[in-house]
Amino acid sequence: MLVRLLLLTLLAATAHAENLCRAPYALMHKDFKYSKYKAELEGVNKYSVAVLWNTFGNNTENLAKELADPRVTGVQVHLINGSCLKSNRCGNYEIVQGSHEQFQKKVRKKNEALKVQIQIAAAKASAFFNAHVRPDQKKFISPILETKLRREDWQVVAEWIAPYFQGWTLVWNPEGAKPGLPQSPATVSEGHGPTPQFVDNRCIANPDGSTPPDGDFAGFLRKYAACELACAWDQNDNCINRTQVGFLDPRQRNCKDTSGFKSIGVGMRQAQVPVEAPPDWDLDDDKSLAGCSKVYSSNDNAGGFIWKTSHVAEYNNVAVLFPAKFGKFKNVQVQKRGLKVGRVQYAPGIGFPDQAAGNKLRPIFRTDKAIEKYPYNVAVRGRTVEGKTFCWKMSNPKIRND
């Protein structure tokens, strides 16, 4: 029940600029395309940055630049790469190598050599951050990214590194989407995946390893606005190209693909805009419903109407989908008080599978305006080849409706 109440609270929230977070884990890679990354963050007023220390390289130049940006209000550091331990493919440059099982045994025995190894890395990292983090920036340290350690064993590692990060907030980040309560000495829990779940708002949400549902970064960031940080991540942030097949050593990746940066920038700019309650629907707004054979709500069930920012990186305006039973409308319009607002065009060759209709592809229509540019209280009108018009009444088109 507590989880449900929190999720309802988060869904109703508006993203706070100081809680927005960008997660370019590969920022220390020698080939990370920093200029392209920054270009897509134009117009984002404030955000924190989350990085993975050491795994992708030791180039701290871009990281130093990022921390010096007055818009960057905080930093999160993952010190040890727990992900590579799970699959036993950590490079010889990693702070901890081998398998998770080997790591687990050493931690349980409080292996002195392992402790020294980790503390040397913690000292090096803290020396850099103490020299570059401003007093006004929030500081979060996650000892292990996506750990599989038992809580009590993770606590041992956290206590090894805590003296080097005094004044930082410790983060408990187990693998998966349900981290539960923070493990002492941590005071914040971090969950990954498209829909992480938390028991309270001492949380950090990051889609790491996936994308938010339908690529809706703005929706993800708004949903977790009550968390300490709501982070946006794309596979390009790990220097993974969309054409890459299989695993490639993090330091051998070329970082050439930056196509995902644009969608994140759009989502963050949208998320920082306060979601205001739309004005009441009035008689003039009813003009947009004239001639409709039937009027539907824009918020319906699975397989219904969808109005959202497109997840296609080079597009990023609104994508509109209708229930599969209507097939392809001959014409689609958005109207405000009976007047057309912008253009809506069919996207040929693109479809969205509808599981409720046996995975029949639903046609996709695209608008010529960004989602935040639409006025309140509009109707989306679809006209069939037979001449019937079906309408969806939408009070707030500035956010996702489905």
pLDDT digits (tens, 9 = 90+) for 49-108: 999 999 999 999 999 999 999 999 999 999 999 999 999 999 999 999 999 999 999 999
Closest CA to 170 of 182, 180, 153: 182
Q: How many CB atoms lie within 10 A of CB 225?
A: 23
pLDDT at residue 13 in the model: 45
In this predicted structure, which of 98-102, 151-155, 361-365 has the lowest mean pLDDT? 361-365
pLDDT at residue 357 in the model: 46
Q: Per the domain annotation, does 78 fall within a domain?
A: yes
Cα dist. 274→65, 213, 222 in Å? 29, 21, 10
Query: What distance in Å separates the CA atoms of residue 136 and residue 147, rounded to the nearest whole number?
Result: 29
Q: What is the mean pLDDT of residues 347-369?
A: 70
The two tokens of residue 96 are: 């901890």
Residue 216 has pLDDT above 60, yes or no: yes
Q: What is the mean pLDDT of residues 315-335?
A: 89
Q: What is the mean pLDDT of residues 355-376?
A: 78
Query: What distance in Å separates the CA atoms of residue 146 and residue 135, rounded to the nearest whole number?
Result: 28
The two tokens of residue 69 are: 């940006």
Q: Per the domain annotation, does 402 fall within a domain?
A: no
- 24, 64: one domain: yes
- 51, 6: one domain: yes
Establish how many alpha carbons lie within 13 A of residue 14's alpha carbon, considering only the half-sphere containing its beta carbon.
10
Long-range CB contact pairs, 81-90, < 8 A, 24+: 81/52, 81/54, 81/55, 81/144, 81/145, 82/144, 82/145, 82/146, 82/147, 82/148, 82/149, 82/173, 82/175, 83/145, 83/146, 83/175, 84/55, 85/148, 86/146, 86/148, 86/175, 87/247, 89/247
**Are the CB atoms for 402 and 306 separated by under 8 Å?**
yes
**Are the CB atoms for 162 and 185 separated by under 8 Å?**
yes
- 293, 235: one domain: no
- 317, 224: one domain: no
- 98, 66: one domain: yes
- 28, 146: one domain: yes
- 163, 19: one domain: yes
User: Which structural domain, as residue segments, surrounds residue 259?
Assistant: 2-271
In this predicted structure, which of 12-21, 215-224, 245-254, 348-357 has the lowest mean pLDDT? 348-357
Per-residue pLDDT band at 389 (split at 50, 70, 90): very high
The DSSP call for residue 147 is B
pLDDT digits (tens, 9 = 90+) for 167-191: 999 999 999 999 999 999 999 999 9
Q: Final residue of a domain: which of 249, 271, 293?
A: 271
Q: Final residue of a domain: which of 271, 300, 320?
A: 271
Q: How many CB atoms lie within 10 A of CB 296?
A: 17
Closest CA to 334 of 319, 349, 323: 319
Q: How many residues does the chain have?
A: 402
The two tokens of residue 374 are: 């639409």
* Residue keyed to tokens 């941590």: 186
pLDDT at residue 55 in the model: 98
